[in-house]
Amino acid sequence: MALLHHTCSVPLASAIRSRALTISSRAAVTFPSVKKLPHADSHVLLGMSELELQQLAADLGQEKYRGKQLHHLLYKRKVKDIEDFSNLPQAFRSNLRDAGWRVGRSPVHHAVTSADGTVKLEDNRLVETVGIPVKDDKGSARLTACVSSQVGCPLRCSFCATGKGGFSRNLQRHEIIEQVLAIEELFQQRVTNVVFMGMGEPMLNLKAVLEAHQCLNKDVQIGQRMMTISTVGVPNTIKKLASHKLQSTLAVSLHAPNQKLRETIVPSAKSYPLHAIMKDCTDYFQETSRRVTFEYTLLAGVNDTVEHAIELAELLHEWGRGYHVNLIPFNPIEGSEYRRPYRKAVAAFEAALESHKITASVRQTRGLDASAACGQLRNEFQKSPLVPDNSDSSQPQPDIPLLC
Ligand code: SAH
């Protein structure tokens, strides 16, 4: 159950207040830490397709339509416990439990509301999910879930709190899916958009991310175009993703217009040079007809001058047309010497891109004081850095060197 702390709420213009909980603008959810790595998904219902659930019902001696009922219970009624599958025969429920099946939902532990209406939910220490309700240009309500793909992150981008907290393990597919369901429950509203921009590097956990993506699309019924996968770049994975021909957006976190500067900001850049990333992004467009979006965190005095903007525009023109840049003013994190750029610098950077025919948008910062803004997701309960949990060799480990 969510424990909600509310502070004074001064919502941004576009923020919506949720009725029941006076939650507005943004919420972060944290799920319980799994002390030892859970075994494979094999006995978790969440994440299974209708066909797989029908097969399971048949395997347990039930009519196939029971599988359809299971699907409805999991994804429409969002029931969290087999015990509460009240329209299924008791014998079937017992069979499921006896065979070791479980739904795969974790209790949400904690919630914090920021002064701008941000809500943050946390458990013992691990993954956090952010819910961001906004009204779009046409006035309709959107609810975006910003989901985590790993417990911590091994890539250690120099300005990101998650990376500073270390890395423990990949999330399993149901652990990604349940974050979306938890946000729906908290806001009492359907999630319309999903961004893989929470803790972790999605491309280091691509299998689970793709499975979760498929389930969110087919079973939870979130349109592919409403989902974005964000990566700082992991060699060979953009190609792999392209082969799935998703209609979702791929966002690549650049943060610098040249390799030299990028290496100082993003340590993993050493193993994946900028020109190789740009080539893969161009190929991605050719393969999927979906243009990659670029993210650029603006760090005062480091990468935020007009000259940097012009260099970035030139880089993008060199590799294609019609690219869009999403600018993210640095969200301060503990122990970092980086500074947030002045509004004037952000506006000048954006204007320089636009005047060089690169469309740009500035990501509205919300949730700063609940540490739920971009890059701030790091569990307050986690006092010491995470270490990789290698106790289960079935968990894929990152396949690029852990730098710094
Ligand atoms: N690993 C993925 C998702 C991470 S978070 C990636 O790197 O793309 C999503 C975005 O937030 C990334 O662009 C990331 O660089 C940015 N970000 C991280 N920390 C930040 C901070 N403190 N301030 C602003 N943006 C940040």
The catalytically annotated residue of 52, 83, 128, 311 is 128
* Cross-strand bridge partners of residue 133: 143
Provide mean pLDDT across the span 358-373.
72
Query: Residues 201-230: what's their mean pLDDT?
Result: 98
- In degrees and rounded to multiples of 5, residue 91 shows phi and psi of -65, -40
Q: What separation in Å is there between the alpha carbon of 130 and the centre of ligand 1?
A: 13
Q: What is the mean pLDDT of residues 25-43?
A: 51
pLDDT digits (tens, 9 = 90+) for 308-362: 999 999 999 999 988 999 999 999 888 899 999 999 999 999 999 999 999 999 9
Output the CA 375–ligand 1 centroid distance in Å. Answer: 5
For ligand 1, the distance from its centroid to the CA atom of residue 93, given in whole angstroms, is: 43
The answer to which of 24-28, 46-50, 151-155, 203-207 has the lowest mean pLDDT is 24-28
Q: Is the pLDDT of residue 256 over 50?
A: yes
Ligand 1 cavity residues, CB under 6 Å: 157, 159-160, 197, 201, 230-232, 253, 295, 297, 328, 330-331, 333, 374-376
CA dist 71 and 49 (Å) reads 7
pLDDT number for residue 395: 36
> Which ligand 1 atom is at minimum distance from the Cα of 251?
8
> Range with the lowest mean pLDDT among 7-21, 53-67, 328-342?
7-21
Distance between Cα 246 and ligand 1 center (Å): 22
**Contact of 392 with 36, CB cutoff 8 Å:** yes
CA 264 to chain centre: 24
More confident residue, 404 or 184: 184
Among 146, 160, 215, 374, which one carries the catalytic annotation? 374
What pLDDT score was predicted for residue 29?
55
Helix (H) or strand (E) holding 154: none
107: how many CB neighbours lie within 10 A of its CB? Answer: 11
Q: Which residues pair with 15 in a beta bridge?
A: 134
Q: Residue 368's pLDDT band (boundaries 50, 70, 90)?
A: low
Q: Please give the average per-residue pLDDT across 372-380, as a whole number.
A: 55
Q: Hey, whose CA ends up nearest to atom 19 of ligand 1?
A: 375
**Residues near 3 by Cβ (< 8 Å), separated by ≥ 6?**
109, 110, 111, 121
How remote is the CA of residue 374 from the centroid of ligand 1, in Å? 6
**281 tagged catalytic:** no
* Closest protein CA for atom 8 of ligand 1: 231
Structure confidence at residue 278 (pLDDT) = 98
Mean pLDDT over all residues of the chain?
Answer: 81
User: What is the C-alpha to C-alpha distance for residues 132 and 375, in angstroms, rounded to an integer?
Assistant: 15
pLDDT grade, residue 120 (50/70/90)? Answer: very low
- AA letter at 135: K
Mean pLDDT within 27-31:
52
Instruction: Please give the pLDDT value at position 7.
Output: 22
Considering only residues 230 and 401, tell me which one the structure prediction assigns the higher pLDDT: 230
Ranges 24-28, 174-178, 210-214, 332-336: which has the least confidence? 24-28
Confidence of residue 293 (pLDDT cuts 50, 70, 90): very high
- Measured CA to CA, the distance from residue 361 to residue 24 in angstroms comes to 23
Please tell me the predicted confidence (pLDDT) of residue 106. 79
Of 101-110, 321-330, 384-393, give the lowest mean pLDDT range: 384-393
User: Is 22 a residue whose pLDDT tops 70?
Assistant: no
What domains, with CATH codes, occur in the chain?
43-102 (1.10.150.530), 108-370 (3.20.20.70)
> Of the ranges 36-45, 64-73, 247-256, 262-271, which one carries the lowest mean pLDDT score?
36-45
Q: Whose CA is nearest to atom 15 of ligand 1?
A: 253
pLDDT for the residue numbered 28: 55
pLDDT tens-digit map of 209-222: 999 999 999 999 99
- CA distances, 292 to each of 3, 159, 225, 328 (Å): 38, 23, 13, 17
What confidence tier does 376 reach under pLDDT thresholds 50, 70, 90?
A: low
Q: From atom 20 of ligand 1, which residue's Cα is the shortest distance away?
A: 375
- Residue 151: what residue type? V
Question: What's the longest Cα–Cα distance across the chain?
Answer: 69
pLDDT mean over 387-398:
40
Q: Check whether 101 has a pLDDT greater than 50.
A: yes
CA angle 366, 368, 369 (to 5 degrees): 125
How far does residue 16's CA lie from ligand 1's centre (Å)? 24
**In the structure, what pLDDT confidence band is assigned to residue 146 with cuts at 50, 70 and 90?**
very high
Catalytic residue list contains 374: yes
Place 133 in a pLDDT band, splitting at 50, 70 and 90: confident
Atom of ligand 1 lying closest to residue 333 CA: 22
Q: Mutation test of ligand 1: which of 132, 147, 159, 376 has the most ligand atoms closer than 8 Å to its C-beta?
A: 159
